[in-house]
Structure 1
């Protein structure tokens, strides 16, 4: 959605000014002692789950992660205020209502079926974390310890950011969020879409439809959002080219390689 002439760190200040939100950038350097990932996607997945206790300032009590390919249709304050019933974090389980996808539900058989028992396999596209509880039970240390043991095997943790918390569900409890907090066409039936509080553009292993094509088809408001952001960045680019304004220059926190978190 963002054109090649603006990187994310340049576009955020423009969007903050246009839409009236505040933001900060946080940074954390991957520890040398922890098994390194080399693929960009897996590095991102690692940051999503391995450093929740140290990535954010101690004054931050809760965080909500939302995937970039997700459309929010509700007030996230509802999710922030949701009672996690003592769990350090809450995830939404995968839907099981689209029956034609039953053959692709890998968590219904084999290792996952045995490991989870009567528990559900949760998706990592959206989650809420109670950082106070998370730190109190040393959940970060537990997750990193399990990651260190499993990641030596290249066949383990194929979906790192999902497999790790689901694998640790007996040691670090997951509160299952109400299903409407994450609707995905791949796994959820059409009848449940009207109640969706967020719509996630999950990959579809059956059709392999590109996500941007799926967005236009599935989400009526997507085209309007996409056009609004493109118009904003195009106008900023024109102003910059004409010397009407300086290049945006956000000032992230110091230390370590830079990572963006909204």
Structure 2
């Protein structure tokens, strides 16, 4: 337990844990917003409880023949009774991989499919089994970092196979006909498991309030089952406590995902920039490998259209699709930084895209190693403090010639700052982006710009009040007993 006394009351403070590299720690209880601690407004003592949730199993993997990382190779980690608990992909960046685990005996394997078909494990160091055995046994019995070195090699009859190449791209006409016939039989099965995957991030009680409203707007505009994916690293204990009740009330699925910023990748120190990094740098490794397509929606957005249409949109071979910034509100021309200087010369006639909403074809993204390319460029640019001022937005726009962006129709994202009033009626989503001219507070802007925002907010407030009253009643009943 740590106590901090005699702290100045006037500054706005944030409480965060700096932990050993191999630890994943989360806050499990707090009596205030740990992102925005204003001691002069808090009468009681601020209390926060953190928990060590996972130990990281990290490693580097190389192909013995080429002495290079096997880009796209996939690993699973499990136990004797549960062979697959988590999975991941090997980065081209240093052949790095990480997996969440806990103390105990674990088995690391090549993932079933192309990884297992093409490659075999031929050696390993830092493990707890003989190096010539295919199954890699790892015993986590210490709180210190466990870093493995894995050597793999292509099987003799698979030397010419490429793990990132889709066999379907090389099929002839007859194979295509057979594939089409099989797809007809699978169409019914596909409809039965159809799900809309929505990813978002938030930190602090205010943005978690926006996030809950965004979720409700998504659900109200689709008939497709929805699964929300949230970056767990910075969610408050309050949000994590409430989300199961929301899921039950509104009938959606959810999963909390997390990834430890690799120690070799240039670190960000400001929380906002760290969160921006998570929006773009780890898309290939953040989600289970079975997730093929995902849509990112900013917490402070309101959805007015079925996002299934966006998910099913043809990206024309690009790994992701973004909406370009609007040009229609001409009085903001002086603030359009992408129209001059570096961005004007870099983009030429291409658009500068906003990162508040984007759809990612994760299968394609992983196949072209887009994550490795983005991390490589980030590593080069982030050394300069004047680069990547809007990290999550500047990086994909900077890499537009190496990792293509599909420009989404303008209607997919409307923002009052950049888009004129006439186009608002066609908006499929409304983003509450900051206005550098008026600097209007978000809550005030939300109520003014989006009428249904107030209704959604009141509905969720009613649910939260009901949960709070139920909780108080349960405590009172327990005390009486």
Q: TM-score scaled by structure 2?
A: 0.50
Q: Secondary structure at the match of 1:221?
A: helix
Between Structure 1 and Structure 2, whose CA radius of gyration is higher? 2
1:47 is aligned to 2:278: yes
- Deviation per CA, 1:90-129: give whole Å up to 9, x if none: 0000000000000000000000000001100000000000
Tell me the distance in 2 between the aligned counterparts of 1:215 and 1:237: 25
Query: For residues 140-155 of structure 1, what are the structure 2 equivalents within 5 Å?
Result: 140-155=371-386
SS of residue paired to 1:186: coil
Alignment of structure 1 residues 67-146 onto 2, 5 Å: 67-146=298-377
Cα deviation code 1:13-63 (max 9, x no counterpart): 121111111111112111110011111101100000000001111110001
SS of equivalent residue, structure 2 residue 257: coil
Structure 2: give runs of 5+ residues left out of the alignment.
Answer: 1-205, 210-235, 477-481
2:237 equivalent to 1:13:
no
1:222 deviates by 0.7
Distance in 2 (CA, whole Å) between partners of 1:15 and 1:181 is: 26
Rounded to whole Å, the distance in 2 between the matches of 1:228 and 1:76 is 22
Counterparts of 1:16 and 1:122, CA distance in 2: 32
| Distance (Å, rounded) in 2 between the aligned partners of 1:30 and 1:6 | 21
**1:185 is the counterpart of 2:416:** yes
Residues matched between the structures, number: 244
CA distance in 1, matches of 2:329, 2:413: 14
- 5+ residue gaps, structure 1, are 246-262
Tell me, what secondary structure is at the counterpart of 1:57? coil
Any idea what SS the aligned residue of 1:16 has? helix
Q: Give distance in 1, aligned partners of 2:474 and 2:237.
A: 16
| Residue of structure 2 equivalent to 1:229 | 460
Partner residue of 2:255 out of 24, 46, 58: 24
Q: What is the rounded CA distance, in whole Å, between the counterparts of 1:6 and 1:56 in structure 2?
A: 22
Q: Whole-Å Cα distance in 2 between the matches of residues 38 and 9 of structure 1? A: 24
Q: TM-score by structure 1 length?
A: 0.91
> 2: CA distance between counterparts of 1:77 and 1:242?
41
> Take 1:11 and 1:195, find their aligned partners in 2: how far apart are those partners?
33
Residues 83 and 244 of structure 1: is their aligned pair in 2 closer, same or farther, counting only changes over 3 Å?
A: farther
**Are residues 148 and 6 of structure 1, via their aligned partners in 2, closer, same or farther at CA, if it must alter by over 3 Å?**
closer
Is the partner of 1:242 in helix, strand or coil?
helix
The whole-number CA distance in structure 2 between the counterparts of 1:244 and 1:227 is 26
1:33 matched residue in structure 2:
264
The structure that is helix-richer by fraction is 1
What is the distance in 2 between the residues matched to 1:204 and 1:87? 30
CA offsets per residue over residues 184-234 of structure 1, 9 Å max, x none? 000000000000000000100000000110000000101100111111111
Moved over 3 A (4+): none
Q: Which residue of structure 2 aligns with residue 205 of structure 1? A: 436
2: CA distance between counterparts of 1:8 and 1:116?
Answer: 40
Q: Which deviates further from its counterpart, 23-32 or 92-101?
A: 23-32
How far apart are the structure 2 equivalents of 1:187 and 1:243?
Answer: 49
Task: Give the deviation of 1:8 after TM superposition.
Answer: 1.7
Which stretch shifts more, 11-20 or 212-221?
A: 11-20
1:6 Cα deviation after fit: 6.2
Q: In structure 1, the residue corresponding to 2:269 is in which secondary structure?
A: coil
Structure with the largest fraction of strand: 2
Q: Distance in 2 between matches of 1:187 and 1:143?
A: 27
